[in-house]
Amino acid sequence: MSKLNWKSIIGWGVAALVVAGIIGTNMYQDKKTVEGKFVVALNLPLSGLMSAYGVPYANGLKMGIQDEFSETNIPLDSFVVDMGDNQSKASDAVTLLQRQQLNGFDVYVSGLSDASRAVANILDKTQIPHFIVAFDRDAIVNETGRMRILPNSNLEIPAFIQFLKNKNPKKVFIISYNNKSVQTLVYQGIKPYLDEKGIDYQIEKLDTNFNDFRILALKVKEYNPDVILIQHYDFGLIKTIPTLKEQDLIQNGNTYIGLDMVELVNTNTDYSITKDIIFNTTYFNINPNQDFIQRYKKQFGKAPTYFSAYGYDTGRLIAKTWIKDGKVSKESIIGQTPYNGVSGIVKLNEIGDLESDLFSGIVDKENRIHEWKVKTE
């Protein structure tokens, strides 16, 4: 080796695993020789609820490496992608890393948040490029191998703030998923702005097993906010949004939702649910690369998500670096950017975090995402 609902999401993940070949042939075992090959080890949720994020990213990354190797006439058996499934468990992520370290790797990819945190301190000591597939604001640390080519809280917060500036509300109701990444966004990103401007607000935290959505809607109705902000995964949005709409609480562009709204749009065709909602979206979603989309569909049997697009650009970038230098480092990968990818212009800052802009989107009757222009100061 060189130096949308829960059922549909789980079903999607299992189907994609089979189509992608992740179960079986693409997974190398401890005894397989990888000497002289470019090895990328993945530690992602490839089964269960969060596979809706892990599988598209893994598929995109592998396709990106394949394309870069093919275009430079390098045999495809020159690289190995170890598709490791951590099942969204931090303890499994650590065990998986220990197994993968036996053979070694040139680049490591981990996610989501809890799994990345569990393995990061171990990998930090090695300086091996470590791509984090997580939204946490503070996930990327200088003087380590950590990197990220994925939208994250640092990019989402300015979009929420700009929406608030545009609406100039007196009262804001925030519905948030109760995990570290989301709560950091709310309490370190949005709340300080509300406090500074003297805007009244109420924050509701929803755990994974939360199911009292009618009571939640009644709380929102009683509070009578001018603006509703929601930061939740799509499995929570599919239950939250219809319940709020039943009470006529979402109307006239008063609601802004984080990036996971894109996943709901991708899996939901009911316009009555997505109508009149403004949300964070990516370059890929408003400027889809049709060639990439069709080739991805042909290979994996599913349309790509924005996770697929960012995974693809990550794969091409690390492969491009390895082909050029015969090895990879954090500095050499950063040196290949800005890079014009299917996800847009990939620009990494000096600590290896993505600096590309997000957009505000809105859905039309044909379920297509268009850019929503917000008034800027």
Q: What is the pLDDT of residues 133-190, one digit of tens each?
A: 999 888 999 999 999 999 988 899 999 999 999 999 999 999 999 988 899 999 999 9
Counts for the chain of helices (H) and strands (E), in that order: 15, 14
- Letter string b/e over residues 341-370, b meaning 16 or more CB atoms within 10 A of that residue's CB: bbbbebebeeebbbebebbbbbbeeeeebe
Around Cβ 74, how many Cβ atoms within 10 Å?
A: 15
Choice between 90 and 266, residue whose per-residue pLDDT is larger = 90
Which long-range contacts does 200-204 make (Cβ < 8 Å, 24+ apart)?
200/170, 200/171, 200/172, 201/171, 201/172, 201/173, 201/174, 202/172, 202/173, 202/174, 203/174, 203/176, 204/173, 204/174, 204/175, 204/176
Distance CA 181, CA 153 (A): 8
**Residue 18 pLDDT > 80:** no
Confidence of residue 47 (pLDDT cuts 50, 70, 90): very high
Phi then psi for residue 136, to 5 deg, are: -50, 135
pLDDT tens sequence across 101-111: 998 999 999 99
- Residue at 168: amino acid letter: N
pLDDT tens sequence across 347-367: 999 999 999 889 999 999 998
Which pLDDT value is given to residue 84?
97
Q: Which helix (H) or strand (E) holds 253?
A: none
SS3 370: strand
Which pLDDT value is given to residue 33?
45
Distance CA 89, CA 257 (A): 27
The mean pLDDT of 17-41, rounded to a whole number, is 54
Query: Which of 19-28, 44-53, 125-134, 278-287 is least confident?
Result: 19-28
- Residue at 341: amino acid letter: G
Which pLDDT value is given to residue 49?
85
**Residue 282 pLDDT > 80:** yes
6-151+287-346 falls under which CATH superfamily? Response regulator (3.40.50.2300)
Residue 44: CA count within 13 A, CB half-sphere: 30
Choice between 290 and 28, residue whose per-residue pLDDT is larger = 290
**Length of the chain as a residue count:** 377
**Residue 44 pLDDT > 90:** yes
Choice between 99 and 19, residue whose per-residue pLDDT is larger = 99
Phi then psi for residue 43, to 5 deg, are: -135, 80
Domain boundaries, the chain: 6-151+287-346, 154-281+359-371
Which pLDDT value is given to residue 315?
98
Confidence of residue 375 (pLDDT cuts 50, 70, 90): low
SS3 307: helix
Distance CA 356, CA 343 (A): 9
pTM of the model: 0.88
SS3 111: strand
Name 215's Cβ contacts closer than 8 Å, sequence gap at least 6: none
CATH of domain 154-281+359-371: 3.40.50.2300
Classify burial at 27, counting beta carbons within 10 Å of its beta carbon; exposed 0-12, middle 13-18, buried 19 or more: middle
**Residue 93 pLDDT > 70:** yes
SS3 158: helix
Residue 253: CA count within 13 A, CB half-sphere: 13
**Residue 6 pLDDT > 60:** no
pLDDT tens sequence across 182-210: 999 999 999 999 999 999 999 999 998 99
What's the order of all strands across the beta sheet hosting 369-371?
A: 200-206, 171-177, 227-231, 255-257, 278-281, 359-363, 369-371
Confidence of residue 34 (pLDDT cuts 50, 70, 90): low
Asked if the domains at 6-151+287-346 and 154-281+359-371 fall in one CATH topology, the answer is: yes
The mean pLDDT of 44-71, rounded to a whole number, is 96
Which pLDDT value is given to residue 20?
39
The mean pLDDT of 319-327, rounded to a whole number, is 95
Rg (CA), the chain: 21
